[in-house]
Structure 1
Amino acid sequence: MKLAINRRQAIVGLGTAGALTLLGRPAFAAKKVKLGVMRLASHAPSYIACERGYYKGEGLDLELEFFEAAQPMAMAVASGEVDYAVTAMSVGLVSLAQTDAIKVIGGALSEEKGLVGTVILASEKAYRAGVVTPRALSGTTFGVTKVGSSFHYMCHKIAEANGIPMSEISLRRLQKVGAIISALESGEIDAWAIQGSIADKLLAGGNAMQIGLVSDYAPNYQVTTVFTSTKNAANEREQTAAFIRAHSTAVDDYNAAVVDKTATAEEVDDVLNIVHKYVDSERPLHAAKETFLSSAMRIKQGCALALDSVTDQLEWLKAKKMVSKTITPEMLFDTSYVETI
């Protein structure tokens, strides 16, 4: 009987030095690094790579640092509090690039036609008042964490596609995702756009209604990116490449199990058990698994970066005078680590 061992099993089973030898790379002393994440299903590859030993297999002693918004994460990378992070582009992140503090080195979550992706929601109160499609967003309030956040950008894309001037939509800056959820549930705000894993819970509770999908207005939107300090990108190339490799292995696991559904039932269960440990852990496992599967969004294979999308986000921030017009793509993006698409 021939025993088949996949790459994941080999890495976990052999340990750091053995795995690196197997993969044709020299072992090196474990380096302590911190990774900034949020408790969202879209951060699943970070959890999978930790739990399955992928970071350790690349010689990284990695610790997860949890955040509730994108901008504080960018500040933490710039200050050296964390080494790498996965989150959406924001005013704070782009502005820090001007000071040569941060570089976007890869892509993560992305919108894709045919997948649920990010859901556009109306509060139950607003829906009853006629906000039943994105075309009805004129005169409404829309939840964002901060001006220049990914939520703001999505609102801009939705409004632009429906011919609604942004001046006709009132942005409510609520700082944290949890605060936006509460505001939508209470009817304090009329609308929001959020990943399906969170949208599903709001819809199930009857506190919100689905009125559209962001992928209808931004089908190739690079929602989140992988970024690090300029110092790491320039001077810690072996470490940074090791991080990308480990993370990419976990991305493959996630996409196969949850997005493409090409993995075995046992593998799907294992992946979802890992995600549930970090996300929606207060909910019953079976309920959380159903949400993870029904609302899955693709993570870019190999951490590939959708350069057209992130450049569009940069140009929008510049056009709206939220960041300096002197910031160039070269100042923000280091494309030497991953494929650009």
Structure 2
Amino acid sequence: MTVRLTRRHALGALGASAALAGTGLYAPARAASKVTVGALRFTSHAASFVAYERGYFKEAGLDVDFRFFQAAQPMAVAIASRDADFGVTAISGGLISLAEKGAAKVIGGALQEEQGVDGQMILASVAAYDQGVTTPARLGGRNFGITTAGSSFHYMGSKIAAAEGIDDLKFKPLQKVGAVIGALKSSQIDAWSIVPHIGKALVGGGAVKHIGMVADYIPDYQVTTVFTSAQNAANEKAKTEAFLAAFARGAADFNAALVDRTEGDDGAEAMTRLIHKYVYADQPYEKASRSIVNGAMRINAGAALNMDSIGDQLSWFKSEGLVKDEVSMEMLVDDSYVDTL
């Protein structure tokens, strides 16, 4: 893919901020600025956890608290209402509608599907598998679990169905990820797609069956994005750049330790223990560590944003009547902060 530099030396500023922060010479954009970060308790949100635990947010002059959510839509609402300052999650219909109203902006990329790195899995219930749903091509007439209409799960299921020529896949909204997991394990739904740290644990425990990979249907899918309120994007440039710089440092550490494995076994162990404070924290480390390591998908360097993928997602939401036709990429994305792919 081709990388272009966005306006006003944006990524250069981020890189310089990160480098200076590492030497202790970085002058924070705003000393002790209180920031609330929305997150899910997923390995895919690890960049924020690393930036917090390793002091990168603090070095950037940000006093961070986390607010945890069960799905993407409520997080988007919290960002728009300024109950949270920054969020990291998938594009949703709610986020796009809030952007259309001038309340939210996507400002960077996070998790992305990449060939050669285990990504999101397509799962089937044991009952559906035993009935012949052994590949995504056999999903016709079946129930596919989603959190809400217009969620990333809805998008993935629709793209899979379209690629397989299936026009009767049924979507069952269950509001929370935990509820979808329960429904799949009890065969109340037939299929679902989810990040590997959850998918591999379910398959390994025999609760569900693995029938495909999302990357085979949506190559280079920008799974999650970094977003903020439109007010922050437009009027709090220093704070927003500081957040992205610290986030990018956290992502770089995560990728090195668990994706590229350049930090050795000790580095991987340290990273896994750090993430365990937030992901599967209710489980013993010995049990949780395998799932955390299994969820290590790449987080985009420098919070770079795949605009082609965002454009495809926006087009799908429009085609489904989930957002207004007049919503433009300019309404949804502020591309002044990071490189775009």
Same fold (TM over 0.5): yes
Give me the identity figure in percent: 50
User: 1:11-36 CA deviation, whole Å, 9 max, x = no partner?
Assistant: 58x8xxxx2xx23x466421001000
Report the more deviating stretch, 48-57 or 274-283. 274-283
Q: Measure the CA separation in 1 of the matches of 2:293 and 2:242.
A: 29
Is 1:98–2:100 an aligned residue pair? yes
C-alpha deviation, 1:188, in angstroms: 0.2
CA-atom RMSD in angstroms = 1.7
Is 1:210–2:210 an aligned residue pair? yes
Give the TM-score normalised by structure 1: 0.92
Q: 1:121 to 1:253 in 2, by over 3 A?
A: same
C-alpha deviation, 1:148, in angstroms: 1.1
C-alpha deviation, 1:149, in angstroms: 0.6
C-alpha deviation, 1:200, in angstroms: 1.7
C-alpha deviation, 1:307, in angstroms: 0.2
Is 1:132–2:143 an aligned residue pair? no
C-alpha deviation, 1:266, in angstroms: 2.1
Q: Measure the CA separation in 2 of the matches of 1:205 and 1:104.
A: 36
Q: Match of 2:160?
A: 158
Q: Measure the CA separation in 2 of the matches of 1:90 and 1:260.
A: 29
C-alpha deviation, 1:291, in angstroms: 2.2
Q: Measure the CA separation in 2 of the matches of 1:27 and 1:259.
A: 30
Q: Which SS does the other structure have where 1:234 is aligned?
A: helix
Give the TM-score normalised by structure 2: 0.92
Q: Which SS does the other structure have where 2:299 is aligned?
A: coil
Aligned length: 325
Q: Measure the CA separation in 1 of the matches of 2:83 and 2:34.
A: 12
Which consecutive residues of structure 2, in runs of 5 or more, have no partner in the other structure?
A: 1-16
Letter in 2 for 1:293: V
Report the more deviating stretch, 49-58 or 109-118. 109-118
Q: Measure the CA separation in 2 of the matches of 1:9 and 1:94.
A: 33
Is 1:333–2:330 an aligned residue pair? no
Q: Match of 2:78?
A: 76
Q: Measure the CA separation in 2 of the matches of 1:63 and 1:333.
A: 25
Q: 1:51 to 1:139 in 2, by over 3 A?
A: same
Is the CA contact 2:121–2:195 (under 8 Å) kept in the aligned structure 1?
yes
Q: Match of 1:289?
A: 289
Letter in 2 for 1:154: M
User: 1:160-206 CA deviation, whole Å, 9 max, x = no partner?
Assistant: 111112xx111000000000000001000000000111112211221
C-alpha deviation, 1:295, in angstroms: 3.4
Is the CA contact 1:109–1:298 (under 8 Å) kept in the aligned structure 2?
yes
Q: Which SS does the other structure have where 1:272 is aligned?
A: helix
Is 1:197–2:197 an aligned residue pair? yes
Letter in 2 for 1:217: Y
After superposition, residues 284-323 of structure 1 pair within 5 angstroms as: 284-323=284-323
Letter in 2 for 1:85: G
Is the CA contact 2:18–2:245 (under 8 Å) kept in the aligned structure 1?
no
Q: Match of 1:51?
A: 53
Letter in 1 for 2:274: I
Is the CA contact 2:29–2:242 (under 8 Å) kept in the aligned structure 1?
no
Q: Match of 2:112?
A: 110
Q: Which SS does the other structure have where 1:278 is aligned?
A: coil
2:122 maps to which of 111, 120, 131: 120
Q: Match of 1:144?
A: 146
Higher relative CO (CA 8 A, sep ≥ 6), structure 1 or 2?
A: 2
Is 1:226–2:235 an aligned residue pair? no
Is the CA contact 2:40–2:69 (under 8 Å) kept in the aligned structure 1?
yes
C-alpha deviation, 1:10, in angstroms: 8.9
Q: Match of 2:174?
A: 174
C-alpha deviation, 1:287, in angstroms: 3.1
Is the CA contact 1:110–1:222 (under 8 Å) kept in the aligned structure 2?
yes
Q: Which SS does the other structure have where 1:172 is aligned?
A: strand
Q: Measure the CA separation in 2 of the matches of 1:320 and 1:40.
A: 28
Q: Measure the CA separation in 1 of the matches of 2:38 and 2:294.
A: 26
Q: Measure the CA separation in 1 of the matches of 2:326 and 2:65.
A: 35
Q: Which SS does the other structure have where 2:277 is aligned?
A: helix
Q: Match of 1:3?
A: none
The runs of at least 4 aligned residues of structure 1 exceeding 4 Å deviation read: 7-12
Is the CA contact 2:30–2:62 (under 8 Å) kept in the aligned structure 1?
no
Q: Measure the CA separation in 1 of the matches of 2:42 and 2:295.
A: 12
C-alpha deviation, 1:98, in angstroms: 1.0
Letter in 1 for 2:104: I
